[in-house]
Amino acid sequence: MAIIVKTNECKGCGLCVKNCPFDAIALNADRKAVVGAGCTECGKCVDACPFKAIEKKSLAAAEKKTVNIHDYHGVWVFAEQRGGKLMNVVIELLGEGRKLADEIGTELCAVLLGENVKGLTDELIGYGADKVYYADAPELKSYTTDAYTKVIYDAINEYKPEIVLLGATHIGRDLGPCLSVQCETGLTADCTKLGIDPEDKKIQQTRPAFGGNLMATIVCPNNRPQMSTVRPGVMAKAEFDKNHKGTVIELKPSLKAEDLRVKVLEIINSVENQVSLTDAKIIVSGGMGLGRPEGFELIQKLADRLGGVVGSSRACVDAGWIPHSHQVGQTGTTVKPDIYIACGISGAIQHVAGMKESGYIVAINKNEAAPIFEIADYGIVGDLYEVIPAFIEALDAKNK
């Protein structure tokens, strides 16, 4: 059986959305109901629709959407910008996107939205984009789900990319699922590795599964575009080439007042000290081995001496010892610094998944059997309250 929406009869009332117990149905930009992958065919939406626009039919009777995958070409990267500045994950995606595009034999493109952002097109081309699709409008100055989804969905329909990559940021994690619903295609979230099948040239999307205990590789064989959100900090950044040439294509947004359910009135930046783990060259992280929240004062001192930033395990964040913005790991931030110093961190697989690609890993732990030592380049078995002060003393002596 399958749940079928008769779009010509759908009035966009939203009753089906409210009555679905599995959040498996949504309204697209045209205010038409779209059934997602989470549908269990319970029929609640059928009963709730006053216009009889939703039916439950057998698969044989349902008209399944089919696409000609050969009509789709190109690798697209969503060029997320904030305040007129490209996010670092965009440069990482352009580096990875270039590898994918070259292996498939297609072009690498970026799609850029905002207000007064045309100047960023040269930067995107310098980082490897062969084409940049950009839309400039006041409604796009600040990210909103409705506006960005509609503009990019319209562009996908017109230009038909075969692969769309987004950073797994707060924006990318919101935008990606909305686009996949609109395009009626799949989305693999939080990927840590991308590759191309040498036989059929489909993208192979790898992400942690079952709490990080194994890695799942996912393909999208029958629908297009193939879509992924990719964790920041796991891919190598593209090199800037000022001589690289590209084409800029302006998109003409067709945004109406009824398309936009949310308006951004004001953006207030948090007054808390923010930490940029993805950009850090050196990270000093603390775990429950600190014993108390005051232990992060010692971690901060070492980080300051090294010119680094402070990281944390999830357990310390859950205990309220340090803000979530410092969390490294599967449910925090994936990092790839030159040096990662793990202090009092046992090495749970969820934490390791977020920092194992670091250049050098130094572990300090009293337990010589701690799993963190299995991935550490240098291990120190000892009390961190003795080891770290010795580090700081040595650094101070060297800098005199």
Q: With pLDDT > 90 as the criterion, what percentage of the chain qualifies?
A: 57
Q: Do the beta carbons of residue 106 and residue 73 sit within 8 Å?
A: yes
Cα four-point dihedral sign 94, 97, 103, 104: negative
* Listed range (29-43, 131-145, 306-320) with the worst mean pLDDT: 29-43
| Mean pLDDT value of segment 233-253 | 90
Q: Strands 85-86 and 81-82, how do they pair?
A: antiparallel
Q: Which of 139, 102, 109, 136 is nearest to 124 (CA)?
A: 109
Average pLDDT, the chain: 88
- State residue 61's pLDDT score: 43
Contacts 24+ apart (CB under 8 A), 347-354: 347/371, 347/372, 347/373, 347/374, 347/375, 348/313, 349/211, 349/212, 349/213, 350/211, 350/212, 350/314, 351/287, 351/313, 351/314, 353/192, 353/208, 353/212, 353/329, 354/328, 354/329, 354/330
- State residue 258's pLDDT score: 74
Q: Strands 54-57 and 2-5, how do they pair?
A: antiparallel
Instruction: Answer with the residue of higher pLDDT: 60 or 385.
Output: 385
H helix or E strand, kind and range, residue 125:
helix 120-126
- Where does the pLDDT of residue 62 fall: very low under 50, low under 70, confident under 90, or very high at 90 and above? very low
- State residue 30's pLDDT score: 83
* Listed range (7-16, 58-67, 375-384) with the worst mean pLDDT: 58-67
Answer yes or no: is pLDDT of 355 > 60. yes
Task: Give the CB-side neighbour count of residue 235, counting CA atoms within 13 A.
Answer: 31
Q: Which of 251, 306, 207 is nearest to 112 (CA)?
A: 251
Answer yes or no: is pLDDT of 336 > 90. no
| Mean pLDDT value of segment 235-254 | 90
Answer yes or no: is pLDDT of 310 > 50. yes
- State residue 94's pLDDT score: 96
- Where does the pLDDT of residue 367 fall: very low under 50, low under 70, confident under 90, or very high at 90 and above? very high
- Where does the pLDDT of residue 148 fall: very low under 50, low under 70, confident under 90, or very high at 90 and above? very high
- Where does the pLDDT of residue 366 fall: very low under 50, low under 70, confident under 90, or very high at 90 and above? very high
- State residue 1's pLDDT score: 67
All domains of the chain in start order, with CATH: 2-57 (3.30.70.20), 69-259 (3.40.50.620), 282-399 (3.40.50.1220)
Q: Give dist(CA 295, CA 279) in Å, integer.
A: 24
Total length of the chain: 400
Instruction: Answer with the residue of higher pLDDT: 219 or 262.
Output: 219
- State residue 211's pLDDT score: 62
- State residue 95's pLDDT score: 94
